[in-house]
Amino acid sequence: MTAYADFHRRSIEDRDGFWGEQAQLIDWHKPFDQVCDYSNPPFARWFAGGETNLCHNAVDRHLATRADQNALIFVSTETNTEKAYSYRELHAEVQRMAAIYQSLGVRKGDRVLIYMPMIAEAAFAMLACVRIGAIHSVVFGGFASHSLASRIDDAQPTVIVSADAGMRGGKSVPYKHLLDEAINLARHKPAKVLMVNRGLADFARVEGRDVDYATLREQNLDAVVPCEWVESTHPSYILYTSGTTGKPKGVQRDTAGYTVALAASMKHIYLGNPGETYFSTSDIGWVVGHSYIIYGPLINGMATIMYEGLPIRPDAGIWWSLVEKYKVTVMFSAPTAARVLKKQDPAFLTKYDLSSLKALFLAGEPLDEPTATWIGGALNKPIIDNYWQTETGWPIMAICNGVEKAPTKFGSPGKAVYGYDVKLIDETTGEEITEANKKGVIAVNGPLPPGCLQTVWGDDKRYVSTYWSSIHNKVMYSTFDWGVKDEDGYFFILGRTDDVINVAGHRLGTREIEESISSHPNVAEVAVVGVADQLKGQVAVAFAVLKDPSKVAGPDDAKALEAEIMKVVDGQLGAVARPASVRFVSVLPKTRSGKVLRRAIQAVCEGRDAGDLTTMEDPAALAQIKDLVS
């Protein structure tokens, strides 16, 4: 097995040779002339001159060897629906959807906005777009009308695909009225709206604009729609980063670079093999859903599970029952989900046969040591952290066990992934930090490897000014995250560069304080925010969810526990990092993808408007904080 250090070094020093080899993992209609055209930094054109198709690589090329193998397994515990599609059946469904698009006037380069729940038709909708060279933009189902309207105006879709409703926790979440309001608000009006009717919510049809998916599918049952071969650099999709304000920021992805990057990641990082089953618990509204529910597993000839539902419904064993039933070998989730399961009966983790599972990968937010230790011990499986962004589309840091087996370190997502020339940069001087365990901004030398964003949709200037202009005197991609690197080359993420609290001149990362507080034995989860303070500029305020709330029966118990936590922080980070207060809550406000809404918490603490909360999972969570601080 190749030593990983050599593998990574070659990916940087012999970039073209390295990625030319990885490109052999996919099918090409026309070979590329140049591996990487970086003649116009920071814009990289990967596999220039080549032609391929993302849908061909995800579906068609597997028909010769695995047509009857499971490809897409749709499971909804909300509607008690379960259906497996073979590669042959998926191929037929995608062609039907592609034919519908064409009948509605969608052509190569046109945009299709997908506003859908986690149902099989959403996968067909995405794959059918890239099949015909259209560009999809998936917006998380249930997103508020104003946010959706801004994305409609930015992407200017020819067609919008939607459904009557999603479901969450046994309740329907109607979509159509939100979509209608968004189209009313938007300057751009789509020619057609394709509706999937699940029978979950009544909705009004707009005459001449809205068309029924089931009717058109019936008319196109025998459709044959060949793949449109596109240039390597042809955009495959636009994905808007969550939490954007003002004009949306659309991450634009290419075709060939993305296909190659995902194929390589399945081999080198995720250890998935053709014929096996991959289960990512994310949503197609987020980048993980694009890369590791839809495209990555299918490119690799695996079956992929698409799950609509909660991790604890009908009970906390649902995910593990699917691992047993479909012999899942690779699972991908978020630390938040692990913390949710931590509060449930641990018997569910040993009830099912998990012998097929090689590892559980966690990403989306920093993984704290208590959560990693708990779930790793409960499952008796490797727990592998990895770090990346919507912008990169696949990991920046990970353990590449497919290249060389390596240990994990608690709190670390691993080492720089091949292709990424990652540096730690001193915020003040702009110089590279080479000594171990010294904090800096995580940045990447250009070009970014294949699969990363090409630009911001329709705004090259914004791409340069946002991502490539914040490192002093250097054209480097900034992740906007603080980190340190130890003597073994393992990185540790300390939080966003804009999540720094300035307390009386001392700059403190919220992540460092959170890590310290979460080491207390009765803390299940914690969020720390910086709150304006007349004396100190800012103070840290912590909100903690307890493992055993019964131990805090009254105000005296709460004060005693707060004092204990302060003592822990004092001991680990020093009195300067001690939060001004620790408040105890039953739940933290989060997005539906599991990210804690720290800025909304901060706004409430400072008496400001919390802003757009359309992606918030439980509105009562923020109300609880408001009551505590008012």
Burial state string for 372-397 with b = 16 or more CB within 10 A and e = fewer than 16: bebbbebbebbbbbbbbbbbbbbbbb
**447 cis-preceded (ω within 30 degrees of 0):** yes
Residues in the chain: 630
Residue with tokens 């914004």: 462
- The structural domains of the chain, ordered by start, are 4-309+386-479 (3.40.50.12780), 499-629 (3.30.300.30)
The predicted pLDDT at position 560 comes to: 95
Classify burial at 7, counting beta carbons within 10 Å of its beta carbon; exposed 0-12, middle 13-18, buried 19 or more.
middle
Classify burial at 232, counting beta carbons within 10 Å of its beta carbon; exposed 0-12, middle 13-18, buried 19 or more.
buried
The predicted pLDDT at position 25 comes to: 98
Classify burial at 206, counting beta carbons within 10 Å of its beta carbon; exposed 0-12, middle 13-18, buried 19 or more.
middle
Residues 6+ apart with CB under 8 A from 18: 10, 11, 418, 419
**407 cis-preceded (ω within 30 degrees of 0):** no
The model carries a pTM of 0.86
Sign of the Cα torsion 341, 346, 348, 349 reads positive
- Alpha carbon distance 384, 388 (integer Å): 13
Report in angstroms the alpha-carbon separations of 350 from 324, 345, 379, 436.
Answer: 11, 10, 7, 40
Q: What is the CA radius of gyration of the chain?
A: 24
The Cα angle at residue 471 between residues 466 and 472, in degrees rounded to 5: 130
Displacement of CA 334 from its chain's centroid (Å): 9
Question: 395: phi > 0 → left, psi -120 to 50 → alpha, else beta; which?
Answer: beta
Low-confidence ranges of the chain (pLDDT < 70): 1, 242-246, 498, 504-507, 612-615
For residue 347, the tally of other CB atoms under 10 A from its CB is 9
The predicted pLDDT at position 246 comes to: 55
Torsion angle of C-alpha atoms 92, 96, 101, 105, degrees rounded to 10: 120
Q: Which of 413, 391, 103 is nearest to 261 (CA)?
A: 391
Q: Which of 28, 95, 18 is nearest to 268 (CA)?
A: 18
- Alpha carbon distance 527, 227 (integer Å): 47
- Alpha carbon distance 409, 388 (integer Å): 17
The predicted pLDDT at position 244 comes to: 37
Query: pLDDT tens across 80-102, in order?
Result: 999 999 999 999 999 999 999 99
For residue 568, the tally of other CB atoms under 10 A from its CB is 17
Q: Which two tokens stand for residue 199?
A: 């029978």
Helix H or strand E segment including 263: helix 256-268
Q: Which of 518, 519, 497 is nearest to 508 (CA)?
A: 497
